[in-house]
Structures are given as C-alpha cells and as structure tokens.
Amino acid sequence: MTFIRTSVLLCLLIVLILPNDAKSKIYTDDKGKLALSVPEYSGFKTHTNYMSQNSYNYVYIEDEMAARRGKFYQRFELRDGDCFGDDTWNDCKNDRERVEFSSRPRQDPSGNQCFAYSIKLDKDFIDVHPTNTDLGQIHQKGGPSGKAGGYVSLPPLIQMSAKRGKFYFKWHSLTGSPTNVIDEGINYYLLDINDMVEKWNDISFCLNYEDELMQVWVNGNKKHEIANSPINFAPESTYFKYGIYRSFVSRYKNWKETIGQEAKLPTQIVYYDEIRRGNSITEVDFNINPKLMPVD
C-alpha cells in the first residue's frame, strides 16, 4: 500500500510540474531584445526579435478558442514604415520592412531537418505584390552573398511567400560564386491566400541534405517532393525565422503612384502557432502524429 501511495503522489507531482516547465514565456534578453522562451519538446528553446519593434508589432495571446492548439498563439502586425535594424543590417536603407523572430538553436545543414508551423491571416490581409511578403524563412549564417534589385542580398534557402493571391514554398536555387551568388527563386504552390484568411493552415516541410530532397506538406497532406539538394553552398548553419517580412517596398509604392493613389503600404496582420523543429515529419506535424503536445 505504501508503494501504491508513493506512486500516486509521484504521478500527481509530475502532472503538477510538467505544465509549468512546458509553458512559453515572453521576456527581454540581456541585450534588450524581445524574446519568447518555448518548451524544448518543440525542438526550439527561444524565438527572438534581434531588431527593434513598436509596441503593436507583436502580441503573445492567451485564447484557447482562437489558438490552433493549446491556449496561446502569436500575433504579428506590420505597418507602413516599420523598418528596423541591428548592428550589421538596416532594413530602412535596404528597401525592406519587417517584424520577425529568429529561432534558436540553429541547425547544421546536414541530415534531415524538418519544420512546421500553423498560420492564419487576418480578415483585412492585403497582398502587396509586386512588393514581396514572406511569412516564414529558413535562413543561412555564413552563407553566400550578392546583389538583388540593386541592394546587398544575403539570400535564404527557403521563403514562404504570399504574392499574386497565392502562398508558395519558394526555394532559392543558388549558383555562381560565394561572393556573387546567382539567386533563382523557384515557387511551389501551396494555397490560395483567400483560403488562409481567418482560417488556420498547417505548413510543414523537410530539408533532407543527405538524400538531396525537399518535401512539403499542407494540413498533413504531402504537396511537393522536390528532388534537389536544398543547398549548393554549405553555410555555417541554418535557422528558422517567422513573422512578416516585406522586401522591395518601393515597388508597391511606385505602382500606387502610377495609378494616382497614396504611396503607402497597407497594414498586414498574421497569426502563428505550433512552431516546431525535428528530424522527421512525425516529430513536427501533429496532423501526421496526433500524439504531439501543443506548443504553449
């Protein structure tokens, strides 16, 4: 009987302790940057905005009825003129705007690296093509560099791009030299933007560096299998970014001016939830593996 009572008490302690240890937490890091700590079972430890931001740009929301899973989700808002910088980069000088979190730890470009997130667009979301809107990236540290549209470019590997009424998995096929890279962006259709407004969609993908293969799923259904290596140049590491990133903002403004309208980009609001990383699709996609715990 003593053994049974001890076992029951131990189980109760585990139940009481695990939820507190597994909770995400918003905080300011030692450099004054806004960050979100997350449970390690998500495959990450932190998501951090390494640039500046305004108070309205990001909110961590508790609402079990509105979240994709669990109780919490994230809201990003980008308004005209929201350009920031850090010690090495300035969006304002490079025709860009963003509010974006970078996830840690980074990953080695080896083996099979899988990522997943849930995304929902606000009811008033507007496609700002010909300005690019990217809602999720796999970027590179120590990767190649070059020029794009007359500006310095440090190209990513993958961008999830919203343009022309569609949402794409965009692979950057990089050739040339490490200091003068040729970037050919190849788009693979995922969803219509209209189907993302006020509706959660689950995006997951695997970059298989060993077998030179990329696979993409939408709501648990495989959408693409791309028989190419994700990289031609081996970076030091890769990392996931998410939020709202607009590049070549002048294109939209110039177009508005040509048709006699105000040269101002509309506000965009995007929601995120269930951000994960792992080494297989079953470690990141809860549609395929329903046993995965919610990321709160």
pLDDT at 89: 86
Could you tell me the pTM of the whole model? 0.91
- Specify the 3-state DSSP secondary structure of 143: coil
User: pLDDT tens, 199-216?
Assistant: 999 999 999 999 999 999
- Does pLDDT of 10 surpass 50? no
Q: Is the pLDDT of residue 1 over 80?
A: no
Give yes or no for residue 14 having a pLDDT over 50. Answer: no
- pLDDT tens string 24-82: 899 999 999 999 999 999 999 999 999 999 999 999 999 999 999 999 999 999 999 99
User: pLDDT tens, 220-245?
Assistant: 999 999 999 999 999 999 999 999 99
**Partners of 272 in beta bridges:** 74, 119
Instruction: Provide long-range contacts, Cβ within 8 A and 24+ apart, for 66-71.
Output: 67/273, 67/294, 68/118, 68/120, 68/200, 68/202, 68/273, 68/274, 69/118, 69/273, 69/274, 69/286, 69/294, 69/295, 70/273, 70/274, 70/294, 70/295, 70/296, 71/294, 71/296
Residue 116 CB partners (closer than 8 Å, separation 6+): 202, 203, 204, 205, 274, 275, 276, 277, 284, 285, 286
Q: Which CATH number fits domain 2-283: 1.10.10.2840, 2.60.120.200, 3.40.50.2300, 3.90.1150.10?
A: 2.60.120.200
What per-residue confidence (pLDDT) applies to 22? Answer: 61
| 75: CB partners within 8 A, 6+ apart | 58, 59, 60, 61, 269, 270, 271
Q: What is the b/e burial string over 148-167, where b = at least 16 CB atoms within 10 angstroms of the residue's CB?
A: beeeebbbbbbbbbbbeebb
User: What percent of the chain is modeled with pLDDT above 90?
Assistant: 85
